[in-house]
Amino acid sequence: MSSSKKKVAILTAGGHAPCLSAAVGQLILHYTKQCPDWEIICYRSGYKGLLLGDIIKVTPEIRAQAAVLRQYGGSVIGNSRVKLTNVKDAVKRGLVQEGQHPLNVAAEQLQRDGVDILHTVGGDDTNTTAADLAAHLQKNNYQLNVIGLPKTIDNDIIPIRQSLGAATAAEQGARFFSNVVTELGASARMLIVHEVMGRNCGWLTAATALVYQQSLAGKPWVPGIGLAKERYGVHAIYIPELALDVEAEAKRLRALMDRQGNVNLFISEGAGLDSIIKELTDRGQEVARDAFGHVRLDTINPGKWFAERFAAMIGAEKTLVQKSGYFARSAPANAEDFQLIDTCVLKAVECARAGVTGLIGHDEERGNELRAIEFPRIKGGKAFDTTQPWFKDLLQEIGQPLTATVHVAH
């Protein structure tokens, strides 16, 4: 293979977000336009496919139809959660043999496939894993240009200003709740808990609540028959970054319930997580974790935990817990997200041609410049800034006090 002709590999990993298929499609599209003689392959199901050598060859027919991918959610090439430095997990799952190290297996596969440029579309775990792989290859004298794209609906990657898929997820979560909220009439004194994804960061919960509240502004209301904006609105937003005084909140929400007959809560799945885990472990329950050591939130059920604690305190006769996560994260990218995706992909291709490695995004620590951010600087768990004017205005609108310490009171 000549120095001018390269081989590109693409993989998507981690959870779904409304950007994966579009990012894959735009990478294929822009490489076809700018570097038509470069070969493109995709690894099926993320790092799992890389370890197993499970390849999709991007044919001329796929290139010609790449623009179609933006119309679909999910990842057309498949995802998985695999950490290349977690040897035990990889062996257990049959991805490597006993005595093999996943980094070595992945490196050897990339060498066999002749890959020069690897695009990873994922969150902080995906891209820090890619950094581990690139460093390992460099130590073994194999030059691989790794260029990541930041995917996470939580919008919690340091130092990325806005991650791909987050804006769409907020819009879709609001759309989801616009149907669920009509259940307020299914029973007197109804408590509805809307659980939104977000392990360490409350951005998505806050943004979803904002989009939903804005959607109410243009709707007609008939208060005399109970069709009142106040009943359909958000009444509380609970996120990891805010303190929660259960007693004070219960008093506020009880007054709402007495006045209008329903209460709607928006909670982040990471809100109160430490308290929930402590409660479970105190009861002797084992808390399941994934390959990266994260608590498996689908086994914790934070929405139910909040519903149980508030129901009696506010006099709810019926509670309903609904999770918008899978609905929101599996949607195709909206126009705002697609513009960001396309901008980042164009930068990624530019970096590939220049031999630059890093995670593409607007760097908050470098004046929001769109650039390939150095992998060692990439971290997850960026906290949502609750001092932003739009969020303070939102809390004021719904009548919730703003505090800034991370604590759940009992």
Active site residues: 154
- Report the half-sphere exposure of 196 (CA within 13 A, side-chain side): 36
Question: Based on the number of CB atoms within 10 Å of its own CB, is 179 exposed (0-12), middle (13-18) or buried (19 or more)?
Answer: exposed
The CA distance from 111 to 1, in Å, is 13
Q: How far apart are the first and last CA of the chain?
A: 64
CB 262 within 8 A of CB 191: yes
What is the spatial distance between Cα 86 and Cα 191, in angstroms, rounded to a whole number?
42
Bridge partners, residue 193, by sequence? 265, 321
Angstrom distance (rounded) from CA 406 to CA 355:
42
Edge-to-edge strand order for the sheet containing 262-268? 236-238, 262-268, 190-196, 318-323
* Of 169, 179, 215, the residue nearest 328 (C-alpha): 169
Alpha-carbon distance of 342 to 371, in angstroms, equals 14
